[in-house]
Amino acid sequence: MTTAHEPTIPPPRRLRPWNAVERRLARVGITGRMLVLIAPVLWLLVFFLVPLAVVFGISLATKQFGRPPYSALLSTEEGTVQLTLHLSNYIRLFTDNLYVAAYLSSIRIAAIATVITLLIGYPMAYAIARAPDRWRNILLMLVVLPFFTSFLLRVYALTGFMRGNGVINQFLGLFGIEPLVMMQTDFAVYVGIVYTYLPFMILPLYTTLVKLDTALFEASADLGARPARTFLSVTLPLSMPGIVAGSMLVFIPAIGEFVIPSLLGGPGTLMIGRVLWDEFFTNTNWPRAAAVAMAMLVVVVVPIMLLQRAQSAVVEK
């Protein structure tokens, strides 16, 4: 029995199971932050860095008949290990006009398609961001709805619209207009890229535009700025992060696109994805195909770095 002068000793507090685990991990040098980063780091290592290293190693070999269809980088002769690296595949990429033209054509088509997607997607994203709350989810669902259909089926559906006896030419025929040649042209490739990648432009733009403070627009109007001036001075600069993110999501996969040029483009539509397919499956030249893939990765990484730097500069302002 305790008296008034004797202090009561509280019972020892029991550690929660998670706190006990955290202390045990801290004893071996593993923090909570490291524990969270383990999963994405392992994913990046297993599914990106290791395959990248394998492809890079194949690109430094030469073609040969057998299994595998490329020469070994390491060879042992009389107890010595010899490393043989061949740069002929990379030299061929810069000396053969086919590969240079394929890279330049891929960049041109991807850049033009990205600009067209931006011009179409920006007004749509702006309209969704300024729509009433009860309509936003419905409009966003309509934007995302094509993803519930196979990518290949959507591209095939475009052929039914743009071919010689397709829906568009049949509609034009009702007014006596001659059929248009759309299939197997660059125009069809642009339509296919814009149609399939438009949601990737709208969603980042919508995320940025919906967060803009409407008080800024009211202040601009109070200062006498017209709507066009308000858009150029307030809305457009503040939406640059969404523009950069959407452009990256469209431009990067469009460079290496293979399905759309194969189904909608013609023989003159030269893109690096088709060249990569021909080298790998038609010519069975795995080292050359690996070199093409590595060079395409560099072509993709450089725009990413430039766009990220531009986005960081906009955010810092």
Contact of 304 with 252, CB cutoff 8 Å: yes
Model confidence pLDDT, tens digit, residues 190-230: 999 999 999 999 999 999 999 888 788 778 877 787 888 88
Closest CA to 272 of 250, 254, 247, 248: 254
Taking the C-alpha atoms of residue 85 and residue 71, their distance in angstroms, rounded to an integer, is 10
Tokens of 106: 């891929």
Compute the distance between CA of residue 1 and CA of residue 134 in angstroms, rounded to an integer.
Answer: 66
pLDDT > 70 fraction of the chain, expressed in percent and rounded: 88
- Set out the domains of the chain in order of their start, with CATH numbers: 17-83 (no CATH), 88-316 (1.10.3720.10)
pLDDT digits (tens, 9 = 90+) for 289-302: 999 989 888 877 77
pLDDT surpasses 80 at 312: no
The mean per-residue pLDDT over the stretch 249-273 comes to 88
Mean pLDDT of the 110-119 span = 95
Burial of 234 (0-12, 13-18, 19+ CB in 10 A): middle
Q: What integer is the mean pLDDT of 252-278?
A: 88
In tens, the pLDDT along 31-81 reads 667 777 888 888 888 888 898 899 999 999 999 887 888 888 888 777 788
Looking only at the bridges linking them, the beta strands covering 74-77 and 80-83 are: antiparallel
Q: Say which DSSP state 183 is in.
A: T
Average pLDDT of the residues in 106-117: 94
Q: Say if residue 11's pLDDT is above 80.
A: no
CA-atom Rg of the chain in angstroms: 28
Judged by DSSP in three states, 147 sits in: helix
- Which residues are paired to 80 by β-bridges? 77
3 state DSSP class of 131: coil
Encoded tokens for 18: 């998670």
Closest by CA position to 110, among listed 307, 314, 309: 307
DSSP labels for 225-274?
--HHHHIIIIIHHHTHHHHHHHHHHHHHHHHT--HHHHHH--TT---HHH
**Amino acid identity, position 37:** L
Residue 136: CB atoms within 10 Å: 15
Contact 103, 111 (CB under 8 A): no
Stronger pLDDT, 9 or 165, i.e. the higher one: 165
Tell me which residue has tokens 């004797």: 6
